[in-house]
Chain A
């Protein structure tokens, strides 16, 4: 059960990009599950059932919000550069918290979380459920109350979109990529590290030259699978970044409505 609770919490953080929302929805999921325990017939696994309740609660919460934009990390970077407190807070976490380390892999996972919020909601949920939390297509269809055909559609279109975005942006997999924030931040938090030595440790970066975009996407998903955004040694630092990006996006989307 603790493992399942951890997975549920990490899934909810990744789709909401909010620690308080993720914690609230986990709480509500367990309350609702207890109230409806007599309706659980065991047709699906307990994990599928709980993720189904959590996804429904999250969808209610997320449908009321605007989707983020593809270049969220560029916009958030600009905002951070003019917001001195951001780096002061981040450096404080880095210096004092046991979960304040900076690791390139953790930033890759964080980056995916942010950019995936630019996808239509169903595509985002399908990608996380199938590619990160290892649900089958049939189980994902149960969780999202849709058909297997539509899960396949959402997965394919979501993957295609994310592959295209990262191919255009991520300097780790494409030398022409416009974004190398993970390397930039590594230089800030780990100034003694040599970035090339760090990148060699990451299979996705090692395989970049082969240019197999589907494979690179799968390797990116493997990185997310390895990381628990609440328990990792970079959790507090990445949550701080996520909170910043969320605030920046809320302001940005508010302005774009005006």
Chain B
């Protein structure tokens, strides 16, 4: 009887831990999709992420993310992108983060409607789309910068948080306008 009671308590504890873990994960996931950027800093790197749920077909979101010349029309954080966003292509990006600088980037991964990665020697930006329904996707954008020399120039790089939030909000707004058009 005593043994049975101990097993019962152990099982209850396991169930409680499982539920708590699920709750924490779900809360974290919900928070992560609220369009708020988060940044994690270490000595040699910095990673900024933003996620948001977009109520539009993944094809529309993908088209917006991969048509270089169209970016300035809908995205207030991008001044211009020259080149083709296609596998292995090089692009030149001008951003409001640093108006004087042209970022020369290479498209490193290109999986239609799923994943896009571009970057240079200092870092990479990854876009992912996770379909949650026919006309709903979770959009995530993460940029990791760093390296051995990172501590020397880390202080000169502005925060990406606001720009990331703006990017995600612009993308969500534009994709949903297109999706809801008659």
Contacts and interface: CB of A to CB of B under 8 A. Distances in A.
A121 to B, nearest CB: 14
B181 A150 contact: no
Contact of B63 (A137, A150, A155, A164): A150
Interface size class of B (residues with CB under 8 A): 10 to 19
Contacts of B56: 149
A193 to B, nearest CB: 38
B171 to A, nearest CB: 13
B73 A152 contact: no
A153 interface: yes
Contacts of B178: 152-153, 156
8 contacts: A137-B182, A150-B60, A152-B60, A153-B63, A153-B64, A153-B178, A155-B181, A157-B73
B73 A153 contact: no
Interface of B: 56-57, 59-60, 63-64, 67, 70, 73, 135, 177-179, 181-182
Nearest to B181: A152
Majority secondary structure of chain A interface residues (helix, strand, loop or mixed): helix
Interface residues of A, number: 12
A97 interface: no
Majority secondary structure of chain B interface residues (helix, strand, loop or mixed): helix
Interface of A: 137, 147, 149-150, 152-153, 155-157, 160-161, 164
Contacts of B73: 157, 160-161, 164
B177 A156 contact: yes
Nearest to B57: A149
Contact of A156 (B57, B59, B181): B181
Closest CB pairs A-B (n = 6): A149-B57, A156-B178, A149-B59, A153-B63, A153-B60, A152-B181
A43 to B, nearest CB: 21
Nearest to B59: A149
A147 B57 contact: yes
A157 B59 contact: no
Given A149-B57, A149-B59, A152-B181, 19 more contacts: A137-B182, A147-B57, A147-B59, A149-B60, A149-B135, A149-B179, A150-B59, A150-B60, A152-B60, A153-B60, A153-B63, A153-B64, A153-B178, A156-B177, A157-B70, A157-B73, A160-B73, A161-B73, A164-B73
